[in-house]
Amino acid sequence: MCSVTYRPLPPERIIALARRAGLEHIEWGQDAHVRLGDEAGAARLGEATRAAGLSVSALGSYYRAGVPADPEEAERLWRQVLAAARALGAPRVRVWAGDLASASSGPADRRRTLDRLKRCVDSAGDIVVATEFHAGTLTDEVASALSMLDEVPGLRTYWQPPNGMPDDEALAGLRTVLDHVDAVHVFSWWPTSEDRLPLDHRAALWRAVLGVLASTGRRIDASLEFVPGDDPGMLTGEAATLRRYVDEAGPVGSGSAAPTGAG
């Protein structure tokens, strides 16, 4: 799961909720639960997660490549993010592909974002760098996302269904970037982000998504990100629904996706 599911809750409560729900890992959000510059705190959080029988799937950072534009400041901030991820024991860092929609990003804006993403990948070592698949960034449109991924060797991406997009169009987009996908954020919003529904309200979409992920033969994390009403009482039921869809897609370890954490 993603810890941003429950931003107001302390980490120990989130760990307990994830464990009770039978989840496997947590993507810890930098905005609420991992403080940049506090590597000792990040290390304790990683240790507490693993002590509970869970793994850390990623650091969900809010680092926006190309922002700030000053290269020295951007590098300083990235070094803090990378240090937090290492202390946490996170195998992956989620980053954002700039702060402009692809249609609004001019050649210089796009080049600055891509150059910064390349620097992030080159400096991350064994930590995977993956972009958020989100409106208002270079991943807001499939062709833009694919071009970005092709231009930055080693860069990976998350995927999530764009708000208001019909199922068949969303699935087509997933298939287009599938070779670059390492994780998906699972939630049921329809038709807007204000309409947060139980996961089974989009059962057809998520069953299809998990089938597509299973077809890759790779382990791709499927992490719960949001639940109706941000209600901790919803997590166990939502996790059971996700696990059922994963089981239908195929057993873990033989080409399936695996549900991981709340997020």
pLDDT band at 250 (very low <50, low <70, confident <90, very high): confident
What percentage of the chain has pLDDT greater than the value 90? 94
Residue 258 has pLDDT above 70, yes or no: no
**The tokens of 91 are what?**
């195998």
How high is the pLDDT of residue 255?
Answer: 37
DSSP 8-state assignment for residue 230:
G
How high is the pLDDT of residue 262?
Answer: 38
* C-alpha torsion angle, residues 178, 97, 156, 46 (rounded to 10): -120
- Render pLDDT for 216-232 as a digit per residue (tens, 0 to 9): 999 999 999 999 999 99
Residue 252 has pLDDT above 60, yes or no: no
pLDDT band at 79 (very low <50, low <70, confident <90, very high): very high
- Least confident segment among 43-47, 66-70, 176-180: 66-70
Residue 210 has pLDDT above 80, yes or no: yes
* Domains of the chain and any CATH numbers: 24-211 (3.20.20.150)
* Short-list 242, 249, 248, CA closest to 263: 242
Q: 262 — phi, psi (to 5°)?
A: -105, 120
How high is the pLDDT of residue 62?
Answer: 97
Instruction: Tell me whether strands 128-131 and 257-262 are parallel, antiparallel or unpaired.
Output: unpaired
How high is the pLDDT of residue 191?
Answer: 92
Residue 211 has pLDDT above 70, yes or no: yes
C-alpha to C-alpha distance for 237 and 73, rounded to whole angstroms: 43
Residue 152 has pLDDT above 60, yes or no: yes
Residue 120 has pLDDT above 90, yes or no: yes
Q: Are 149 and 137 in contact (CB under 8 A)?
A: no
How high is the pLDDT of residue 112?
Answer: 97
Q: Are 222 and 259 in contact (CB under 8 A)?
A: yes
- Render pLDDT for 129-145 as a digit per residue (tens, 0 to 9): 999 999 999 999 999 99
Beta bridge partners of 224: 186, 262
What percentage of the chain has pLDDT greater than the value 70? 95
Preceding omega of 191 cis (within 30 degrees of 0) = yes
Residue 37 has pLDDT above 70, yes or no: yes
Residue 175 has pLDDT above 50, yes or no: yes
pLDDT band at 251 (very low <50, low <70, confident <90, very high): low
Distances (CA, A) of 152 to 97, 113, 129, 148, 177: 12, 10, 11, 6, 14
